[in-house]
A and B are shown apart, each in its own frame.
Chain A
């Protein structure tokens, strides 16, 4: 027995020795991680890491040293960019978020259009706009920004991206010193607002660098490193026209997973981030080390109804579906940062929300609408039928975070006799071309440039590019055309309210819920501005204390 125990001890010792031996043999793989990552993280390595800055690291540098230490901000965005070229896809939204590029005008925290690279402008006739390019603005390479540089940039963008042609209906551009004259192909009231779309970011097209990886722009931060869909390394541009940033360097990290983004904030790897899950917001809000900045957003989760569908082409079915949904319950299910929608534009926007008969819950009306249209539950299975066909619709969506709300929609519609089948997909992008859907959930930026016309022109006008539900109403089309000719805010507002009334009366789509915008930052981050439009994030005033 003693010998047996000795053997066991010997085997155990040998096993441990083997472990150590294997560990030693495999030790070469560890440094490989260092070398492979060295390129992308080189810039970050020059700066203090976020962990050194967190409250949990009391051994941070003394105050006198901290004042001299370079200031670095780690920011996280949720939307990755394949390139940094504003003319490609929606990549300009990322460069705008990161403070790399700027447009001629921008939409501020109050949804008002304010000057940016253009300080004044004048509409000389219905189709001509003369924009004065601000004096003293320079690109990151030190070259002055004049009208010719802006013209060259816009022409390149329009050549590369059809959206740039249609969004502002630009016909021709002329440059003379700091004066940029843009002629539109037709009167277009949304011209100025749409010029704030990051697609119209101004970059130096003659800089000799590849805008996809190193755009030379005008923002407070210039690119020092970029890995597609991963990280953007930035340094403050000392010649920034509106006063250089207090920060020295910034790392903008793409973190697509909401939970990971929240944990990166909590671990101190990230100082500031857009969007985390609702439950994480509550945790971070309760923690004095973090601040949650919230503002009414302009995004709305819309249930797009396919009017070409045999059931949804019937107004009564659409309206019954609309009335079957308890919107307050849906907002509660989604959690704290979600709000009631009920109309194409959020209640915070100045587009007559109070004057509208917004979408609301009325189960009794839903049932009576279905009965009026001849739908009845003849087989007693709880769902209504007509001409031998059950009222069954498939709801397609691609965001697992709204699954609970979608299940509630299924239950609510089921309660009035409409069978809803849920179809959660990885992506619904192909539907844009196939249009093969019955009901589709999309997260729409309702006021993408602070102006209402974009939404009407692209989502509701007959034959519009993203009018996926094939809705058509000539009266609404007429209003869209009138909006193009309306240049003062009061008349644009009046026309928008009229358009909203038509859309609601026709029950075109169902506005499920709105979404507030929020930025979550460490308590050390200063001058955080939550913008209603989420492509604004970091600017020259954003800073961090040591």
Chain B
């Protein structure tokens, strides 16, 4: 197990190296010229002489690999460059927005778990009964409705009409409710169906019949055997959901004026602020790589079949 964990953790480094290469290559290949973009912030339309001088100064005339190596060296020292738009360090811009995204992620996941797990269990246990039909019907709607539309409806209902909650901003807990609910309606609807499906799959296995034959109560089997087994398959999906949320829910963050990394990325993309875009892509890459790592390790820890198949490596 220790050997596997070490190997799996070490494998992260080449992945990150490849990702950093593509991150830099994407910006390098973009049609916009960083020199012109930098000058435009200062209200200057540079002539060719100025552009060439600035390119030379910034090392933009060096071969691609030299530029990549220099950039990677800076990134490893924690220097992600300077935002064209803000004129501040990308690191400062990222760290200003990441906490808001983490808060929104945590709230959304909490609501999703609170809604999806009990309803998924209930739906599976009451398969093909009115409660099941109702839950499936509602979750079908939840999955089908675009989240920006749900967000607008919630803003109108709870902000404009009932005046119970603010429609925008990131000031306090009240500001968190609408964007978190908007995101979790879609996510919980998805997970209700997933939990239900996994539960039903496990409930069709022989060990349920075996347990009942041995005199165990149905509810005990469900909560001690079927639920843990069925949630295993949900873990991967959950990991990806955490990743996508931590990458920022761009549309929801934008319409609710929630100052997270998603909104930051949209703002950066609209003005082609490449250093910030690079920082955002690296953040996303790190998040996905780490979450995949955690999910893999969790799987191994929770599912003995994987441990045994791996020969105890």
Contact = CB atoms under 8 A, between A and B. Distances in A.
Interface of A: 4, 7-8, 10-12, 14-16, 18-19, 22-23, 26, 29-34, 36-37, 40-41, 44, 51, 54, 56-57, 80, 82-83, 88-89, 160-164, 212, 227-231, 253-257, 259-260, 263-264, 266-269, 426-427, 429-430, 432-434, 465
Q: Which secondary structure dominates where chain B touches chain A?
A: helix
Contact of A429 (B173, B254, B256, B272): B272
Given A26-B114, A163-B43, A269-B168, A263 B99 contact: no
Contacts, number: 176
B204 interface: no
B122 A11 contact: yes
11 contacts: A11-B125, A32-B106, A40-B170, A56-B163, A82-B86, A162-B43, A164-B43, A257-B254, A260-B168, A263-B155, A433-B36
Interface in B15-38: 31-33, 36-37
B257 A257 contact: yes
Contacts of B159: 263-264, 266-267, 269
Nearest to A9: B219
Interface of B: 31-33, 36-37, 40-45, 85-87, 99-100, 102-103, 106-107, 109-110, 113-114, 117-118, 121-122, 125-126, 152, 155-156, 159-160, 163, 166-173, 175-176, 217-219, 222-223, 254-257, 259, 267, 269-272
Contacts of A8: 125-126
Contact of A427 (B109, B152, B219, B271): B271
B66 to A, nearest CB: 25
Contacts of A34: 172-173
A7 B219 contact: yes
Given A33-B173, A82-B86, A15 B168 contact: no
A414 B223 CA distance: 66
A430 B32 contact: yes
Q: Which secondary structure dominates where chain A touches chain B?
A: helix
A22 B117 contact: yes
Given A36-B99, A263-B159, A30 B107 contact: yes
B163 A26 contact: no
A15 B122 contact: yes
B272 A427 contact: yes
B40 A37 contact: no
Contacts of A29: 103, 106-107, 110
Contacts of B156: 263
A394 to B, nearest CB: 16
B43 A14 contact: no
Contacts of B169: 231, 253, 269
Contacts of A228: 86
7 A-B pairs with least C-beta separation: A163-B43, A26-B110, A267-B159, A29-B106, A15-B118, A433-B36, A162-B44
Nearest to A51: B163
A470 B276 CA distance: 33
A83 B259 CA distance: 16
A51 B171 CA distance: 14
Contact of B163 (A229, A268, A433, A434): A268
A160 B43 CA distance: 9
Contacts of B176: 30, 33
B167 A264 contact: yes
A493 B114 CA distance: 69
Given A260-B255, A260-B256, A23 B43 contact: no
A452 B81 CA distance: 40
Contacts of A56: 163
Contact of A88 (B87, B121, B172): B87
Nearest to B113: A22
Given A19-B118, A433-B33, 15 more contacts: A10-B217, A15-B118, A26-B113, A32-B102, A37-B175, A41-B171, A57-B163, A162-B42, A229-B267, A255-B168, A257-B257, A260-B168, A263-B167, A267-B167, A427-B269
Contacts of B86: 82-83, 228
A255 B168 CA distance: 8
A88 B103 CA distance: 32
Contacts of B43: 89, 161-164
B225 to A, nearest CB: 13
B256 A430 contact: no
A12 B121 CA distance: 9
Given A30-B173, A257-B257, A267-B163, A430 B272 contact: yes
Nearest to B269: A426
Nearest to B42: A161
Contacts of B152: 259, 263
B255 to A, nearest CB: 5
Nearest to A257: B255
A31 B107 CA distance: 11
Contacts of A269: 159, 166-169
B44 to A, nearest CB: 4
Contacts of B167: 260, 263-264, 267, 269
B228 to A, nearest CB: 13
Nearest to A465: B45
A37 B107 CA distance: 15
Most A CB within 10 A of own CB, among B103, B110, B169, B170: B169
B59 to A, nearest CB: 20
B87 A230 contact: no
Contacts of A266: 159-160
A99 B109 CA distance: 42
Nearest to B227: A18
A11 B159 CA distance: 37
A427 B270 contact: yes
Contacts of B175: 33, 37
A7 B221 CA distance: 11
Contacts of A14: 219, 223
A12 B271 contact: no
A457 B168 CA distance: 41
A36 B103 contact: yes
Contacts of A162: 42-44
B259 A433 contact: no
B168 A430 contact: no
